Structure 1
Amino acid sequence: MFFSYFQDFFSQVNKPYLLFCTIFAAILIIANYKLGIEVKWLNNLPGRPVKFIGFYLVYLLAFSLPWLFYFWIQRPVQFPLLLKLLILLAPALFALKVSAGGWQEIISTWIPGNIGRFWAIVADWPIRLLITVSMLWALKLFMDSPSFSGAEKGSFYGFTTANIKWAPYLILLAAVIPLVSFAATQADFLQTYPKLKALRFLSPDGPAPWQKLLYELSYGSDFFTIELFFRGFLVVVLARFAGPAAILPMAVFYCSIHFGKPLLECISSYFGGILLGVVACYSQSILGGIILHLGLAWMMEIAALLAHHRH
């Protein structure tokens, strides 16, 4: 199944377009790790409105430039206004998801001490999922209106079991175990993972098993957000305007949200974005991608925990 998807993709995609997007992603990665775009600049911007603007500009550059190149090489084709509006809107939606906040402070005020801090952390990812789902639901209602009929019909951004066969996803997940094992030997990986170390403040005994489980489930909810937005909205929906060409701008944009992660993870996110984008585009479902992403995320948590334990 996957082989046929990739055969179709590489036979249909414009090769200069693929080369441009890959080189552009490489330039963005080099610039980020040389200049610290996210760590030194975006994360230190004062106030949420300014952070929103900063993230929006970075995401807009990453997402729109590949689309502009695609429009340039497809000049005889007339692209609908809705597609161009969505290209401008998509980075704003994700910038809002990233820069929004305030609920952690409210929860910590309501529930004082370390327990309040724990609940503030655990609530954060599900709240961002709720924000993203709400925005995409409102957008779907808009696109389903008579003015834009045909733009997005059927499933909620590819949230469907149609055309899904689970075995290939599980095989692919097993195939990345060696890569995760190698990543767990790298110092920058172990500085970031496991995410569970965010609960170290629950001393002296550390987090209870139920707290660890709740944290990992909360962490996992963020991958529903990611897959719904990047593979559901940016591929399943936009492919209805541009076909498989929608995959590459998504992959560059997806790479840009990893600028605060270890270098190897950021590089692999571009190629992983293409992989998941191809699957979503040709299956018209994001559920397989959710399984792959969740499985990979939790494998990275386990690998990091084991590596720290050995040391």
Structure 2
Amino acid sequence: MKPIWDALRKHLRQDFRWNLYGTLVLFLALLITFNYSVNLERGIIDSYRGNPLRIVWYFLLYCFAYYGGLLIYLGFTKEWWRLKNPRFWLYSLFILAVLGLDGGFYGYNSLSRALFDGAVYSYLFHCFTNVSSALTVFLPLALFYYFVDNQRHHFYGLQPKWTKLKPYFILVSLMLPLIAWASFQPDFLRSYPTYFDSNADEFFGVSRWVTTLLYELLYAFDFVSAELMFRGFMVIGMAHLLGRGAIIPMVVCYASLHFGKPLGETIGSIFGGYILGVIALESRSIWGGIIVHVGVAWMMDLAAWLQKM
């Protein structure tokens, strides 16, 4: 755990200001309160499922969160000159467009219904939901990286770094008591497990564990794409434009990604996003974040599944 604490202490020594972080907390509180008061994501944005306007809605939400967090940071650091760099606008608008596309894309719905005459629609829908980021995230980022980005950071921190990963497994294990407590909360159990039993195992003539394992592997893939966008592109990819200021707008935007989740998970994403952002900035790798993110996600599904047995 020492490398993680060292990275956090180093970052806080250089970045922390009471007025800055206090204003950030207030902004996040207002944003979260508004979302859960009017049911912004599930009640308004998701009502446009299948409509291209859903992508636009998500784009506007992420823009407000990201640029709002950035303006707070620049207002206290007086680094307004960063906004004069055209590459900042190219990078930031690009990743926010990718986020909007990934959040609002719904093409996998018709594909799920078309395959096998819809006999296993529910199962295919959830699987395609998780793997669709190969099209909506990985492909756009790969094209941007090879044709626009002039950095050499091994595709936004995705280069394998298998050394010094032990602290992240320890960090995942420390989350176990909190997840166990959350699994007794009604709000948690309304959202998890993310995969519900279907007739897919009978349809394909395989064990239930085979279809469950496939779903969970694709579920993990979705978290890899999330780390690539938020810690990879927004932190590692934009550090040359924003320095340490890349973390705060990412955190606010990352919190808004969870607006359709239970309130406790949204609040937890703020702290988790901040810690993983600092780790990515210091290590130039997103593998620590992938381990933590996937490990916690799998434990949440398992805890909820055990509660509902």
TM-score, normalised by the number of residues in structure 2: 0.91
Q: In structure 2, what residue type is equivalent to 1:84? A: W
Q: How do residues 113-262 of structure 1 correspond to structure 2 at under 5 angstroms? A: 113-144=118-149, 149=150, 152-162=151-161, 164-197=163-196, 199-200=197-198, 208-262=208-262
Q: Distance in 2 between matches of 1:203 and 1:233?
A: 37
Aligned length: 302
Structure 1 spans left out of the alignment, 5+ residues: none
Q: Distance in 2 between matches of 1:7 and 1:14?
A: 10
Q: In structure 2, what residue type is equivalent to 1:165? A: K
Q: Distance in 2 between matches of 1:75 and 1:26?
A: 24
Tell me, yes or no, if structure 1 residue 265 matches structure 2 residue 270: no
Q: Deviations over 1:211-241 (max 9, x none)?
A: 1111111111110110000000001111122
Q: Distance in 2 between matches of 1:110 and 1:173?
A: 37
Closer/same/farther in 2, CA of residues 286 and 190 from structure 1, 3 Å limit: same
Q: Deviations over 1:21-76 (max 9, x none)?
A: 22211111111111111111111136432111111111110001111233333446
Q: 1:308 deviation in Å?
A: 1.4
Match of 2:38 in 1: 35
Q: In structure 2, what residue type is equivalent to 1:238? A: M
Tell me, yes or no, if structure 1 residue 12 matches structure 2 residue 17: no
Match of 1:26 in 2: 29
Closer/same/farther in 2, CA of residues 163 and 113 from structure 1, 3 Å limit: closer
Tell me, yes or no, if structure 1 residue 53 matches structure 2 residue 52: no
Q: Deviations over 1:186-231 (max 9, x none)?
A: 000001000111x346599997221111111111111011000000
SS at match of 1:191: helix
Q: Deviations over 1:143-183 (max 9, x none)?
A: 33xxxx4xx31311001234840111111111110110111
Q: 1:18 deviation in Å?
A: 2.4
Q: 1:126 deviation in Å?
A: 1.3
Taking only aligned residues, the RMSD between alpha carbons, in angstroms, comes to 2.2
Q: Deviations over 1:256-277 (max 9, x none)?
A: 0101101100110111100111
Q: 1:142 deviation in Å?
A: 3.4
1:99 to 85, 104, 110: 104
Percent of aligned positions that are identical: 32
Q: Distance in 1 between matches of 2:265 and 2:49?
A: 27
Q: 1:14 deviation in Å?
A: 4.4
Match of 2:66 in 1: 63
- Contact (CA 8 Å) 2:49, 2:104: kept in 1 or not? no
- Contact (CA 8 Å) 1:56, 1:95: kept in 2 or not? yes
- Contact (CA 8 Å) 1:157, 1:232: kept in 2 or not? yes
SS at match of 2:259: coil
Q: 1:254 deviation in Å?
A: 0.4
SS at match of 2:187: helix
Instruction: Name the stretch that deviates more: 114-123 or 28-37.
Output: 114-123
Instruction: Name the stretch that deviates more: 69-78 or 163-172.
Output: 69-78
Match of 2:116 in 1: 111
Match of 2:4 in 1: 2
TM-score, normalised by the number of residues in structure 1: 0.90
SS at match of 1:196: coil
